[in-house]
Structure 1
């Protein structure tokens, strides 16, 4: 995973770039502040203004280290462009991703280091997390809604930094997923997201800078998915 511009400059929502490669319906830009998605989070979308009009960036295809920006029409563009990221979509995804980390931390603490088995973070304000919890009562997971919202209200600082991959792998609790982890950057580091004194884990998603920036959430459903999997669904209110 490269060092994404959206990680280093999360408030950069409008920027200029040039088309360095193109094919019908897709462009490769000289720089991009869009998050390409991954780890269960959907990608950013944006408006792209070019010499002949306006197009929508509706998806991103990651091919090696290259991020192709997929357009809503089969255009083949060239030259300089202006990009405006959908700020409301980005804000929703950042709120949900930070909130899922809080939920993850509460589950990890309450259920003896239970690992994540899957996640989905959507632009409609709804997310789900799956946990390896064969013995956990569903009511105990539903009861986490109150402490989750308490953390949001407390206004904990959210900060990010990078650690060498070997150090991250050797530190208990930094890599929480049973199946996937953020891939390392070309210089062999992984990005760490830290929420106050509550949580610290590897993650490549977009996040808030303070938990109080999130709307409250509801735990809408807890489901059994297989013998050991518990799925917790949340939504922003």
Structure 2
């Protein structure tokens, strides 16, 4: 995983770039602040202004380590461009990804270090997390909605740092997935997202800088998926808990 520009400058939602390479319907940019997706999170989208008009960036694909931006038109671009990231979509994804970290922390603490087996974070304001919880009571999981929203209400700082891969692997709880972990950066480090006083774990997604920036979360459904997995579905509400 590279050091994404969206990690280093999360408020950079408009930027200029030049075309490095192009083909009909896709473009490789000299720089990009879009998050390409991954780890269950869908990618950013954006509006792209070029010499002949406008186009939409509707997806990002990784090919041989390069990030191709997929367009909603078959045009082949060249020259200088201006890109405007879809800010409401980014905000929705950042709120949900931060909420899944809170949920993950609460499950990890209250269910004997249960690990994540899957996740999906969607631009429609909904997300799901799957946990390795064969013996858990569903009502006990539902009861975490209150504590999750209490963490939002506390407006805890959220920050990111990088640690060496070996240190991350040797620190219990930093890597929470049962089967996969975020790939290291080219310099051999792992990005760690920390919620002040609550949690820290490896992650390459987009997040808030304070839990109080999130809307409230509603737990919509808990499902049994196979013999071991419990799937917890959540969604953003319209309620702001911090004023």
TM superposition score category, shorter chain reference: over 0.9
**For residue 185 of structure 2, what is the aligned residue in structure 1?**
185
Secondary structure at the aligned position of 2:183 is classed as coil
Is 1:2–1:65's contact at 8 Å kept on the other side of the alignment? Answer: no
Q: Is residue 2:7 matched to residue 1:7?
A: yes
Alpha-carbon separation, structure 2, partners of 1:128 and 1:2: 26
Secondary structure at the aligned position of 2:201 is classed as strand
The alpha carbon displacement at 1:63 in A equals 1.6
The alpha carbon displacement at 1:154 in A equals 0.2
What are the residue-to-residue correspondences of 1:47-62 with 2, within 5 Å?
47-62=47-62
Alpha-carbon separation, structure 2, partners of 1:120 and 1:179: 15
**For residue 223 of structure 1, what is the aligned residue in structure 2?**
223
Alpha-carbon separation, structure 2, partners of 1:236 and 1:10: 21
**For residue 101 of structure 1, what is the aligned residue in structure 2?**
101
Q: Deviations over 1:204-225 (max 9, x none)?
A: 0000000000000000000000
Please, which runs of 5 or more residues in structure 1 have no aligned partner? Answer: none
Alpha-carbon separation, structure 1, partners of 2:176 and 2:46: 31
Runs of 4+ aligned residues of structure 1 deviating over 4 Å after TM superposition are none
CA RMSD of aligned residues (A): 0.5
**For residue 81 of structure 1, what is the aligned residue in structure 2?**
81
User: How many residues in Structure 1 have an aligned counterpart in Structure 2?
Assistant: 237
**For residue 168 of structure 1, what is the aligned residue in structure 2?**
168
Secondary structure at the aligned position of 1:216 is classed as strand
What are the residue-to-residue correspondences of 1:1-237 with 2, within 5 Å?
1-237=1-237
The TM-score normalised by the length of structure 2 is 0.97
Alpha-carbon separation, structure 1, partners of 2:139 and 2:93: 27
Secondary structure at the aligned position of 1:127 is classed as strand
Alpha-carbon separation, structure 1, partners of 2:8 and 2:58: 23
The alpha carbon displacement at 1:62 in A equals 1.1
Alpha-carbon separation, structure 2, partners of 1:66 and 1:157: 33
Alpha-carbon separation, structure 1, partners of 2:232 and 2:41: 16
The alpha carbon displacement at 1:64 in A equals 3.1
Q: Deviations over 1:185-232 (max 9, x none)?
A: 000001000001100000000000000000000000000000000000
